[in-house]
A and B are shown apart, each in its own frame.
Chain A
Amino acid sequence: MPTADLVKLMPLIITSSGAILIMLLLALKPSHKVVQVSCLAVYLFDLIYVLSSSEAFTYHLFVIDGFGKLFMGLVLASGMTITLISYTYFNEKEENPKVFYVLLLLGTLGAQTLCISHHFISLFLGLEILSMALYALIAYLRNRSYAVEAGMKYLIMAAFSSAFLLFGMALIYAETGSMNFEQIAQITRSQQLVSPYLITGFGLLMVGAGFKLSVVPFHLWAADVYQGASIPVTAFIAIVSKGGMLIILFRLLGLTQLVTILPISTLLLIIAIASMLVGNLLALLQNNLKRILAYSSIANMGYLIAALLSIGADGLQTATLYTSIYFIALLAMFGVLSILSTKERDADSLNDVKGLFWHKPMLATIITVAMLSLAGIPLTAGFIGKFYILKAGVDTHQWLLMLTLILASVFGLFYYLKIIVALFTEYPQTVGETEQLHPVSYVLNGVALLILTFSLIYFGIFPTQIILYIQTILQY
C-alpha cells in the first residue's frame, strides 16, 4: 500500500494519533476541561477532513466511497456530541474522568474502520477494536456495581458472538476462497444451488452481526448493558457500535444485492418481524427509560432490516436516511438524560422525567420532539424515515413486513406516549439544581441539543435537502 494512498486513510490516522496524543497529554496532569476540548478538536478536525476530501478510492481491505464517508461522518458527529455531553456527566461523578476520552476515540477508530471496510480482515479488526474500547467504557464508573456487571456480561457475550462471526467467516472463506465482499457475492450468485457450507457460513456470520445489532434471538443482553452502563456510554453503544455493524450489513448484503437470495432473505425476514414485535412488546410495560430505549433500539433495528430487505427500490437510501434520523433522535434523548442525571444515580426512571415540562420546558420539548420522531409522527423527521420504509416496502410488495411494521409502531406509540405523558403530569420538583456548577458547558450542551432538535423538525418539514444529500452521496 504505497504511501501516497496512505493519505486516503487520513481520517483513521487522525483519530488514532489523536488518541495517543491525549494519552501522552494525560501525563502532564491537565484539567478535565483541557482533555475534553482536545478530544473535541480531534473529532472536529477529523470531521472537516472527511467532509472535504471527495474522490473515491478502493483498495484490498478498504473502500472509501460516499456511503462509507457518510457513515463515518455520522459516527464522528455522534462521537463529538457524546464527548460534549459526557463532560458535565462525568465531572462530579468520577475521580479521573480523563481516560474516558481516550477510550472514546479508540472506539470511534474501530467504528471508522468498519465504515470503510469491505474485507473480512478489516471487518474483524474494526469490530474488535470497537469491542475492546466498549468493554472498558461500559465498566467505566467502577464504584457503581451495575457497571462492572454489565461490562463483564458484555465482554463474555461479545467474545462468544465474535467467535461465531469468525467461524462463519472461515466457512465462507473456505467455500469462496476470497475474503472480499464483492467477490464472495459474485461467487455465491454464480452458484445455482448455494452450497450448505456457504449457507452455514452466512448463518453464523448473521449470529455475530445479530448479537452486535441486538436483533431478536440475540437481544437479551441489550437491556441489561444499556441499564448498567453510564448514559454517554449507552449512547455510544446505541449509536456508534450499532452504526458500525449496520454499515457492514448494508455493504455485505445490501450493496452486493446478496439479500435477494432466498435463504438469506427469509432469515432476515424472520429476524425483522420478530425483532419489530418483540422489541415493542417488551417496552410496553417498562418504566426504566434506558431499558425502554434498549427495547426500542431492538425494534428500530428490525425496521432497518426491513428497509434492507426491500433493497430493490433504493432500499439502501431508505436505510441510510432512517439510520441517520434515528441516531439524531437518540442523541437528543441521551443528551437530555445525561443533563438530568445527578451524582448518585442516572436519570433513567420515569419519575425523574415527571412534570419536567413545567420546570424545564426546553429540555421537555427536546424529549417530546425526540420521542415523536422515534414514534414516527409527522412534523418530525422520524415520520419521513418511516414513510420511506413504508414506500420501499410497498414498492417491493412486502405486505407481511409492512403490516407488522404498522402493528409494531402502534405498540411503539404507547410507550413513547407514556414518556410524553410523564413530562406533562403535575409532579413536585425533586431534581437538585446542578446547572450552577459549570454554566458554560450546560449552555454548550443545550445549544448542541437544540441544533439536533431543530434539525429533527426541519428535516420533518423540508426533507428535500437531506434526501438530495444522501442521493448524491450514494451515487459515487
Chain B
Amino acid sequence: MISNLSSDYVFLLAAILFALGAMGVVIRRNILFMLIAVEIMLNSAGLAFIAAGAKWAQADGQIMFLFILSMAAAEVSVGLALIMQIFHQHKTLDVDELEQLRGDRK
C-alpha cells in the first residue's frame, strides 16, 4: 500500500503527462499525432485513478482504468475510420485544411 506521501508524486506525474498530452494536441498538425496525444492524456487520467484507488485501498480506481482503456480503444478505432474518410476526400491529414466550416466569413 503506498503511503500518502508517495501518491502525491504519482499525481504529479499524471499531471505532467496530462499537460504533455494537451501540448501535443495543440502543437501537432497531423490528425494521427493528435489522436496519439489524446491517448496520452486519457492514460494519464487512468494513472491518476489508479493512484487515487491505491491511496484509499479500493479497487474502484483500477476498475475505472479498465473502462478508460476500453473507451480509448473504441474512440481510436472510430477516429481512424474518420481519418480514412478525410484522407479519401481531402487527400491530406493536415488539420489546418479542415476549416471549411467557419463562422467568421459570411
Closest B residue to A200 by beta carbon equals: B15
Closest chain A residue to B90, Cβ basis: A145
Bound-state CA distance A287–B106 (Å) is: 8
Interchain CB contact under 8 A, A149 and B101? yes
Encoded as 1 (CB less than 8 Å from any B CB) or 0, chain A from 117 to 129 comes to: 0001100110010
In contact, A170 and B48 (Cβ under 8 angstroms)? yes
Identify the stretch in A1-9, A155-163, A395-403 within 8 Å (CB) of chain B at 4 or more residues.
A155-163
B60 partner, pick from A128, A139, A163, A173, beta carbons under 8 A: A173
CB of B67 closer than 8 Å to a CB of A: yes
A73 to chain B, nearest CB (A): 27
Q: Please tell me if the beta carbons of B86 and A149 are within 8 angstroms of each other in the complex.
A: yes
How far does the alpha carbon of A59 sit from the alpha carbon of B56 in the complex, in Å? 22
Which residues of A lie under 8 Å from residue B56 when comparing CB positions? 173-174, 177
* Contact flag A291-B82 (CB < 8 Å), given A163-B42, A170-B45, A174-B48: no
Binds B, one of A24-32, A221-229, A230-238, A444-452: A221-229
Given contacts A132-B74, A152-B83, A227-B101, contact A163 B45 (CB under 8 A): yes
What is the distance, in angstroms, from A2's C-beta to the closest C-beta of chain B? 20
Q: In the bound complex, what is the Cα–Cα distance between A318 and B60 (angstroms)? A: 35
**Looking at chain A, what size class is its interface with the partner chain?**
35 or more
Which secondary structure characterizes the binding site on chain A? helix
Known: A159-B42, A163-B45, A167-B18. A174 touches B82 (CB 8 A): no
Contact present for B45 and A179 (CB under 8 Å): no
For A158-201 the 0/1 string (1 means CB < 8 A from B) is 01101100110111011001010000000000000000000000
Closest chain B CB from A183 CB (angstroms): 12
B11 and A174 form a contact (CB under 8 A):
yes
Cβ-neighbour of B89 out of A148, A163, A174 (below 8 A): A148
Is A135 an interface position by the 8 A CB rule? Answer: yes
Q: Which of A131, A152, A179, A224 contacts B102 (CB 8 A)?
A: A224
Closest Cβ of chain A to B81, distance in Å, is 8
Q: Is the CB of A160 within 8 A of B38?
A: yes
Which 10 A-B residue pairings sit nearest by Cβ, starting from the closest? A166-B45, A170-B48, A174-B52, A163-B41, A224-B101, A177-B56, A173-B52, A128-B71, A159-B38, A167-B45
Residues of B with Cβ closer than 8 Å to A? 7, 11, 14, 18, 21-22, 25, 31, 34-35, 38, 41-42, 44-46, 48-49, 51-53, 55-56, 58, 60-61, 63-64, 67-68, 71, 74-75, 78-79, 82-83, 85-86, 89-90, 98, 100-103, 106
Please name 20 pairs of A and B residues whose Cβ atoms are closer than 8 Å in the assembled complex, sorted by A: A121-B60, A128-B67, A131-B75, A132-B74, A132-B75, A145-B89, A150-B101, A151-B82, A152-B79, A152-B86, A156-B38, A156-B79, A159-B38, A163-B44, A167-B18, A170-B49, A170-B52, A174-B7, A177-B55, A228-B101
